[in-house]
Amino acid sequence: MTDIILPVPEAEADSRLDRFLRRNVEGLTQAMIQKLLRTGKIRIDGKRAEASTHVETGQIVTVPPIIPPKDMPKVRQVMVMDPHMLRDLEGMILYRDESVIVLNKPAGLASQGGSGIKVHLDGMLDALRFEGTERPKLVHRLDRDTSGVLLLARGVKPASRLAAAFRGRDVEKTYWALLWGVPPVLEGRIDLPLRG
C-alpha cells in the first residue's frame, strides 16, 4: 500500500491540518491523526506538522495508508425535511450571500445532535445548500434553550476565516436575558454553577 498524497487546493487554504485530513481521508479519526502526527507519519511538504497547523494552497500533505477501525463512527445522518420544516428553516434566514448564512435560531432547537437529540440544526444544513455545492458549516453554537443569531459558513474557506475571527476575539457577542419583574439587586456578580 502506498502513501496518500493530498495537494492542498485553494478552497481549503488556511484550514487546520486535522480538519483538512478528516474531510479528505476516509476512515481517518481524530485519534488516528494525533497518533500519526506524534510519530511523524503525517507530513506537510516532507516536514513534521501539528494538528493545529494551517495548510496553504499548493502544499503537499502525505499520509500513510489508512485501515479504518472496526468501530468507525456512523456516517452523518441527514434529516428528512418535510415541506413545513423546510419552510420554517428558510424562515429563520436573516441574511445570505455567497459566503455566509445568518439564522435566527429559536429556543428549543439544538445546534448539534447528541444523546437523545433527534432534531437539530446540524442535521438540517443540507437543505440550506441553495445553489452552492458545499454543505453549510456551523461556525459557533448556541445552547438548545437559547434563541439568537447563528452564523453558518457556506464553504471551507469562509468557515476557516470565520473560525479565526472567533478565535481572535474579532467577533463581539452580546447576550440578552428577559426577566419577569425587577431583580431586588440591580447589579452584582453571580459566581455559582447553573442548575438545570
Cell of 82: 418535510
Q: How many other C-beta atoms can be found within 10 angstroms of the C-beta atom of residue 70? A: 5
State the residue for C-alpha cell 496553504. 56
Residue whose cell numbers read 479519526:
29
How many angstroms separate the CA atoms of 34 and 18, rounded? 8
Residue 63 C-alpha from the chain's centroid: 23
Active-site residue set: 143
Q: Which residue has the cell 434566514?
A: 93
Query: Which H, E and C letters describe 115-150, residue by residue?
Result: CCECCEHHHHHHHHCCCCCCCCEECCCCCCCCCEEE
